[in-house]
Chains A and B, each alone.
Chain A
């Protein structure tokens, strides 16, 4: 900074000049930060995710079953493998966002043998795949393969969001397969109550002509479902997410986490048309999963047949799956060992948020470990 001049009119000039410089410096800094923020958002769409080393042990159509390579000596492993099942919308790398932010890594470190079923991205040839087909045609075969590869007789299954609905459907349809532990995470299952303020209202018969939608578009575009999900909390999703990025831009590690989550949010997959139609009409509007009279390929869907140890985890601030939709299953299954756990988190934050490592992940590992011995 230069020395102040002595003449009074020069004082005025000096102050004007100084404030102009300050303003222009601040504007430059603000613009630089803004430009960096935009770059971080754009880069987030290609940030590497799902990096935990794995091998493909089964494939059918676009579905893949991955076996994660162990991080501890095999003799230290629990003998009961864990299968992760994610929803039909978005991609399953939410379980393995980035090194250090990976539920998969965490469970491997705890000594679990981890498998992940990736449904893949449905194409036009999959538009006739029904919701139930994902269980009878895909999940059933993937489990069979996993048991073969792991040489185990029993297994544990963790379903997240609609993946939990599919996992529950599986458990109800195939009681003869030895499912020892079932973990449901934010599971939309019981739609007998349709609370206001959720997506439920948009799926009602008078508000969505699901036949017209599916007959027109075939597979329901992932972008449409993402838009619906974001619309439920417009301020948080369309503004808050970017405000958060602005606030954490000085922290490289936090930025990497934000980018991985943003990629997951934006990286959507279409919902197979028939599966969407069936989910809305049969499972959501008809609430058939809980009624005990629904038949799937000659088998009765009966939740009372579910005897696996059950850990049902509900996210307290879930705006996509209402609490009643997720927690009521605990009263409908026959499991002797069942636990309901409410975690103060959002639907996505429960698995992908910064606190997941300290609340959800240890909760799951701690519950599963004593139930996974031989």
Chain B
């Protein structure tokens, strides 16, 4: 079977040929469309409305979970996050102490 016949009967090869022929003009048109002022505005509006719904849901869920965890005598997400933040600050303090010890050791070595 010839290559031409092969590609005629291969639906994907035909799609690829079509893509190759059209992609440059499509790509330009689509890139222009998505970077237009009107697209940016409509994307902003969509995001704003979904954020409004999402933030309300999240706040309500957060309040319910917080009350539940409090009653169960379990730490809330906020409390766990606070502990993790403090751990990172402690790590930084230890890192700085480590560096100072290195400096002192270097000076002692130099003196010897």
Contacts and interface: CB of A to CB of B under 8 A. Distances in A.
Interface of A: 22-23, 26-27, 29-30, 33-34, 60-61, 123-126, 128, 137, 141, 144-145, 148, 196-198, 201-202, 204, 206-209, 212-213, 215-217, 231-236, 239-240, 243, 246-247, 319
A239 B19 contact: yes
B13 A201 contact: no
Main SS class of interface, B: helix
A144 B51 contact: no
Interface of B: 1, 5-6, 9-13, 16, 19-20, 23, 26-27, 30-32, 34-35, 37, 40-41, 43-44, 47-48, 51, 54-55, 58, 77, 80-81, 84-85, 88, 91-92, 95-96, 99, 102
B77 to A, nearest CB: 7
A201 B40 contact: yes
A246 B12 CA distance: 9
Contacts of B99: 141, 144-145, 148
A153 to B, nearest CB: 12
Contacts of B88: 60-61, 125-126
11 contacts: A23-B9, A61-B88, A125-B85, A128-B85, A197-B32, A207-B40, A212-B51, A215-B55, A216-B54, A232-B31, A246-B12
A213 B51 contact: yes
Given A33-B12, A34-B12, 11 more contacts: A22-B1, A27-B11, A30-B12, A137-B92, A196-B35, A204-B40, A216-B54, A217-B54, A232-B35, A234-B31, A235-B31
A201 B35 contact: yes
Contacts of A30: 10-13
A231 B31 CA distance: 8
A346 to B, nearest CB: 13
A14 to B, nearest CB: 16
- Which residue, A23, A198, A231, A319, has most C-beta atoms of chain B within 10 A? A231
